[in-house]
Structure 1
Amino acid sequence: MKVKQISVFLENKSGRLAQVTRVLGENSINIRALSIADTTDFGILRLIVNNPDSAYRALKDAGFTVSTTDVIAVEVKDDPGGLAQVLEILQNVNINIEYLYAFLQKATNAALVVFRVEQIDEAIEVLQKNNISILDGSRVYAL
């Protein structure tokens, strides 16, 4: 039920993001979702890709500082309050969300929300008990 996320440390310089995407494209790696958080001097690019192991190797070989992190991908109804329902379940068991990002899946009329939490196994267990749809890595990579 865990999804492997690629994180890339980037200097906040013109062209660095283009370099990452070029390396991924040259290695036939397709980006499924991304998020970037930046400061004045650097940013952290977080990616869900179709082949995380190949992406990690390609970016590492190209000289980027790269790491992998396990995250959870949850399908949330694309209705008002859909995300609130999931967040409240996690809040009720004191699971803190470090960050999240999302995108809409038109085919299913649901949002896919990617969560990073400290207690990932506990979060998966409590979400499953509450009938929240958690997608495994192979399904997310194939989107």
Structure 2
Amino acid sequence: MKEGKNMTIKQISIFVENKPGRLSDVTAALKNGGINIRAITTADSSDFGILRLIVDDTDKAIECLKTADYLVKVTNVIAVTADDKPGGMASIMKTLYKANISVEYMYSAFLNPSEVTACLILRVDSNENAIEALTDAGYKLLSADELAKF
């Protein structure tokens, strides 16, 4: 399936002060809204951090976070399954490299579609080209609906 728009996942980026308790506050706001976090990563500087999330209900999460006065940005990313063994991720990276696709960042998700696979979240310079290269190479990409079900 090479449906570029259907195979991207909405990622929420939240800008938070780099102070004790901020992650607790953000995750509590999501908990209170009944939002399940499917993947998470942080990047920080001395003054602020960027918390990136994949959740089961993006629109509801955005509403909860904005109500709690957080600055929120939505970005489309890709979720791809990898063989959970040495070289599984290297194979995906080689596929993207051969297609001249740059990975801006990646992180793993809190799900395992099967006992032999893991899931990577990728931010790349061209979602459409990455989706084509990965599906042509036989990799399974996950839709937002599939991620929400795990």
Q: TM-score range by the shorter chain?
A: over 0.9
Q: Deviations over 1:101-139 (max 9, x none)?
A: 014617432110000012001110111111111011110
Which residue of structure 2 aligns with residue 110 of structure 1?
117
Distance 1:122 1:94 in 2: 9
Which residue of structure 2 aligns with residue 80 of structure 1?
86
Distance 2:37 2:80 in 1: 18
The 1:23/1:107 distance shift into structure 2, 3 A limit, reads same
Contact 2:11 2:74 in 1 (8 A): yes
TM-score by length of 1: 0.96
SS in 2 for 1:43: strand
Which residue of structure 1 aligns with residue 15 of structure 2?
9
Q: Which has a greater percent of strand? A: 1
Aligned partner of 2:140 among 129, 133, 137: 133
- Greater than 4 Å deviation, 4+ residue runs: none
Distance 1:76 1:24 in 2: 28
**RMSD between aligned alpha carbons?**
1.2
Report how many aligned residue pairs link the two structures: 143
Q: CA deviation at 1:96?
A: 0.4
Q: Give unpaired runs (5+ residues) of structure 1.
A: none
Distance 2:89 2:124 in 1: 16
Distance 2:49 2:84 in 1: 30
Distance 1:64 1:139 in 2: 27
SS in 1 for 2:61: helix
Contact 2:30 2:36 in 1 (8 A): yes
TM-score by length of 2: 0.91
Amino acid corresponding to residue 131 of structure 2 in structure 1? I
Distance 1:119 1:39 in 2: 27
